[in-house]
Amino acid sequence: MNGEGSEELTNGTAQTSSRAVVAEALRQRIALGGFGPGDRLPPERELAAAFGVGRNTVRQALRELAEEGLVTTTLGRSGGTRVAPARPGGDSARVAVTAGIRAALRDYMEYRQAIEPYAARLAAERGAGAVRRELVAMLDTKVEDLGAYHRIDTRFHLGIAAAGGNEVLSEAVTRARAEMFVAGNALWLGSDWSRVYPTAGDFGLAFREEHEAIAFAVLAGDGAAAEARMRDHLRESHRQFLTVLDQFAAQE
């Protein structure tokens, strides 16, 4: 599975866009039942880390949801932001949101299938030796939790995209992943990933198992193998996202 944030955007238009993305992602998560009525949302700092934005962006997004009546915020040690009571028509909203997320996942994964396997081929065929060795070294990164998994996953995929030396392709990979995962982070935030990662919560082992075939094909300079292994990996990533989504669909 692949998930990650992006750097905080500082100009006014970009910050507004980031706020809208975070608000919509949380709106979808609430509609899916991932955050139920009365549930307390994670603290602002955790949401900011999950979405790869600043706390002010999260605060603005939560204010937008509060104005819509979806959440309420109270102060004090026992305070925080909680999901408002359920509204009529919640089941139909969940069905619609689930369908929309499935369609978006399909579109993004099809696009990534079109560009990332070829980026892996170029990394194998044109990447500098030091860069290819660095990709292999990432396999031994200590990964303590799901958030750390997504950060090293980002470094790996963007590292492969950059290694091939095609700036246009690298930019396309970066944009596709950022757009997919900033919104998609609402799915995995606080979700049960035990069905996806059966390795007893060992995210470091999960990262290695999912990426070592790609890394070693790139290191060996085998473009065909690198392309094929990346394609296999992306198919598995898509399946993992759908597995998590199915947990919400089961509540319908």
The answer, as to whether pTM is greater than 0.85, is no
- Cβ neighbors of 199 (< 8 A, separation 6 or more) are 205, 206, 209
Residue-level pLDDT at 221: 98
Residue-level pLDDT at 101: 82
Residue-level pLDDT at 7: 40
pLDDT in tens, the chain (252 residues): 544 444 433 344 444 578 888 888 888 888 877 788 888 898 888 888 878 788 999 999 999 999 988 899 887 777 789 998 876 555 666 777 778 888 888 999 999 999 999 999 999 999 999 999 999 999 999 988 777 888 899 899 999 999 999 999 999 999 888 878 766 666 666 666 677 766 556 889 989 999 999 999 999 999 999 999 999 999 999 998 888 888 766 655
Residue-level pLDDT at 245: 80
Contacts 24+ apart (CB under 8 A), 219-224: 219/124, 219/132, 219/133, 219/135, 219/136, 220/124, 221/124, 221/125, 221/132, 222/124, 223/120, 223/121, 223/122, 223/124, 223/125, 224/121
The residues pairing with 3 across neighbouring beta strands, listed in sequence order, are: none
